[in-house]
Structure 1
């Protein structure tokens, strides 16, 4: 796997790792995970001639009174790393909370996003809406109790022409790390990266 680096615009410490060459896929981990959780998946997808960039959540402030960053601030972190790496546009996705950040990126920076990849979907009341006109691929563990399959099905019902759902049989919440092959294949098959 690729070594994690830290990008520090305006004093924000944003971890990232990039590997592969070609069109870009940006992945953001869930709230309780770091970018290593998506490392095997990123490596697998990067073998299909794509540049996969994992962007983590910025380091927490030492000040206990500090307010947690908003979706908009996390989305700006993603775009700032994309700019740092010279990436004009990409599919942007993430696992659970990371997918909600990807949705915010697609709303705030629509022209930079080719599509949205959701690895498990947070409940509608916790996530930003979908951006108009962008395709969305939901890859969902069938045994996920944290971001249950119903969340993906509900999202698909709101935009059936844009949202596709691919189940990962037997996958729990951490399916991007435990079912790497099936998850990678679902992404590659959908995007026709072969």
Structure 2
């Protein structure tokens, strides 16, 4: 798998050094990472399958993991990392994706810089503002364990009651572990900064929820039917309100459907991107 050996590069921008990797060629897709995630925490098979048709770009937020610079404290500064990296790479318009917390950032970028975002891919995340369906307590308890086991990953990202999902968790874990040149982990003392960003997203001072109801940017949401963090029902509440929204729900799947079903997830993404060009 090409992504396992992809070189880690540094974009030095305005006092911060954003570490990033590029896999594949074609139209660019920038992916925003989840809570605590670093460059290694994307499933390599998911990235490689996307890279068969696109130039896939993953990165670390300022000050997180191997990136240097000031830590972000709100959605504005987190989302600025995306624009800064795109500018550094001389990418004018791009497909933007985000997983979990990264989905918050992707949505904020889309409403603040609509001319830059061609299409939006949101995985295991929620819409801006207040939502009606909360995360499960077991997610909060497990998400703050410093060193995950495979069993913890099954709770966080898969569906523990499903034998096939548990097996997929082991396979995804092994694919991620296969990389020999490891990225730096996000320090526990930095986890609080995701909370600041999440609070900002929920308060929705920039009225992102309403702007997404008026957007022309095509939006694809991928979710599991047992999403312990951000239930897909929050997106169902926006049916017929968000005009460009498409939601795909994977059965017997959790918070990381792209890791459980990398082939199917990338197939949905490719079909969506090929058929929703603005």
Indicate the residue corresponding to 1:191 in structure 2: 273
| Structure 1 stretches lacking a partner, 5+ long | none
Counterpart secondary structure, 1:33: coil
Asked if structure 2 preserves the Cα contact closer than 8 Å seen for 1:168 and 1:183, the reply is no
Indicate the residue corresponding to 2:10 in structure 1: 6
Which structure's CA Rg is the greater one? 2
Indicate the residue corresponding to 2:49 in structure 1: 44
- How many residues get paired? 187
**TM-score, normalised on structure 1?**
0.86
Equivalent-residue separation in structure 2 for 1:60 and 1:82 (angstroms): 18
Indicate the residue corresponding to 2:226 in structure 1: 143
**Residue range with higher mean Cα deviation, 126-135 or 116-125:** 126-135
Counterpart secondary structure, 1:111: coil
Equivalent-residue separation in structure 1 for 2:43 and 2:84 (angstroms): 21
The structure with the greater share of residues assigned to helix is: 2
| Structure 2 stretches lacking a partner, 5+ long | 130-201
Change (3 A) 1:39 1:53: farther
Counterpart secondary structure, 2:237: helix
Q: 1:20 aligns with which of 21, 24, 38?
A: 24
Q: Deviations over 1:58-77 (max 9, x none)?
A: 2249xxxx874311111111
Q: 1:178 aligns with which of 242, 257, 260?
A: 260
1:4 Cα offset (Å): 2.6
The structure with the greater share of residues assigned to strand is: 1
Which stretches of structure 1, 4 residues or more, deviate above 4 A after TM superposition? none
Counterpart secondary structure, 2:115: helix
Indicate the residue corresponding to 2:105 in structure 1: 101
Change (3 A) 1:185 1:82: same
Counterpart secondary structure, 1:57: coil
**TM-score, normalised on structure 2?**
0.61
Equivalent-residue separation in structure 1 for 2:230 and 2:8 (angstroms): 27
Equivalent-residue separation in structure 2 for 1:18 and 1:67 (angstroms): 23
Q: Deviations over 1:114-139 (max 9, x none)?
A: 12110022254226422622111101
Counterpart secondary structure, 1:192: helix
Indicate the residue corresponding to 2:181 in structure 1: none
1:39 Cα offset (Å): 4.5
Over the aligned positions, Cα root-mean-square deviation in angstroms equals: 2.2
